[in-house]
Amino acid sequence: MQRMTRQRTAVADALSTVEDFRSAQQLHELLRDQGHGIGLATVYRTLQALAEAGVVDVLRTADGESVYRRCERREHHHHLVCRTCGATVEIDGPAVESWADRIAASHGFTDITHTVELFGTCAACAAASGQDDVATGG
Amino acid sequence: MQRMTRQRTAVADALSTVEDFRSAQQLHELLRDQGHGIGLATVYRTLQALAEAGVVDVLRTADGESVYRRCERREHHHHLVCRTCGATVEIDGPAVESWADRIAASHGFTDITHTVELFGTCAACAAASGQDDVATGG
DNA sequence: TTATCTGCAAACATTTTGCAGCGAG
DNA sequence: CTCGCTGCAAAATGTTTGCAGATAA
């Protein structure tokens, strides 16, 4: 059974206050910033435990860094992440699920798992970037 | 401009002979096995160049290791990979493409890219694993 | 009390980089 | 000849692990 230590609470709390995916190291820095004297290894270990418990989502950045986010739903789902501001939307894609299964089955594959993540620019960031040089307009 | 060195040729050739995704280190070992005295760094550098040229596909294993495979088609596509034997099928998913765009648009996102990879067990491996303990039957 | 959790730092694996020499063009 | 490519090994990065002490239950 897991003990509820101060560090563990701090990590869980930090995950509650951020709404985007954060790396273990970012969370570690954040916690140190907040005055919690917590070790990096502890952050990793806690994050792992949380991920196994299904309380947080884990995904890998293009850099190969693992990033974590407290997820709203326990069921299988995917993410739509803004490249610029990191805003994240949780999506479920029954269409993709069935597509994946169908494709896999048609090739004789079973025991399918799939990785589906969407990256893009959210409306706000697109607007910001679009009016970039006219920001002073007025 | 790129020079056509023996090492570069060897890497390209190795990629042609294997049909599954291989890590840089696996390819390195393979090349050394074949008698090519090639450095690991060179393999990494060559693979990077090849990936940038769009000649090979790169994807990340769950371990966070980058794996490479010469791809048949230059256009955007996805993969169905056997967890056990590594067999790979290239698939295109117009359905997913449009689904991704639709989902993204409905959330105001633009400039969408998506990561879609399927992992499963191919028919052969499923059969092999299924009759695992009756292999001596007879 | 006691078994778990913590913290530090070293181990670890993968990938990148620096520098001197070889070789393609 | 010249400049890119090569090779080795050290550096950088991200993550895991070992051990002794603190601590939640």
Claim to verify: residue B14 and residue B51 sit in the same structural domain: yes
CB B87 within 8 A of CB B122: yes
Same domain, B57 and B83: no
**Last residue within a domain, chosen from A71, A100, A127:** A71
Indicate if B83 and B102 belong to the same structural domain. yes
Co-location of B79 and B136 in the same domain: yes
Q: Exposed, middle or buried: residue A49 (CB in 10 Å: 0-12, 13-18, 19+)?
A: middle
Q: Which structure tokens are listed for A7?
A: 């560090």
Q: Which bases of chain C come closer than 7 Å to a protein CB?
A: 4-10, 13-18, 23-25
Residue A6 pLDDT level (bands cut at 50, 70, 90): very high
Q: Please check whether residues B43 and B17 belong to one and the same domain.
A: yes
Q: Are A62 and A85 part of one and the same domain?
A: no
Q: Are residues B65 and B90 in the same domain?
A: no
Q: Tens of pLDDT along B12-45?
A: 999 988 878 999 999 999 999 988 889 999 999 9
Mark whether B45 and B78 lie in a shared domain. no
Same structural domain, B52 and B87: no
Do B66 and B90 reside in the same domain of the chain?
A: no
Does residue A134 carry a pLDDT above 50? no
Residues A35-46, mean pLDDT to the nearest whole number: 93
Three-class DSSP labels, chain B? CCCCCHHHHHHHHHHHHCCCCEEHHHHHHHHHHCCCCCCHHHHHHHHHHHHHCCCEEEEECCCCCEEEEECCCCCCCEEEEECCCCCEEEECCHHHHHHHHHHHHHCCCEEEEEEEEEEEECHHHHHHHHCHHHCCCC
Assign B74 a pLDDT band (cuts: 50, 70, 90). low
Total domain count for chain A?
A: 2
Indicate whether A64 pLDDT > 90. Answer: no
Least confident of A105-114, B30-39, B88-97, B128-137: B128-137
pLDDT > 80? residue A85: no
Structural domain for A117, as ranges: 73-138
**Which of the residues A58, A83, A110, A111 would you substitute to probe the B interface, choosing the one with the greatest number of B C-beta atoms within 10 Å?**
A111
| pLDDT given for residue A137 in this prediction | 36
Q: Which residue of B has its CA nearest to A110?
A: B121
Contact B114, B100 (CB under 8 A): yes
Nearest to B83, CA basis, from B126, B121, B118: B121
pLDDT at A125: 79
pTM of the model: 0.71
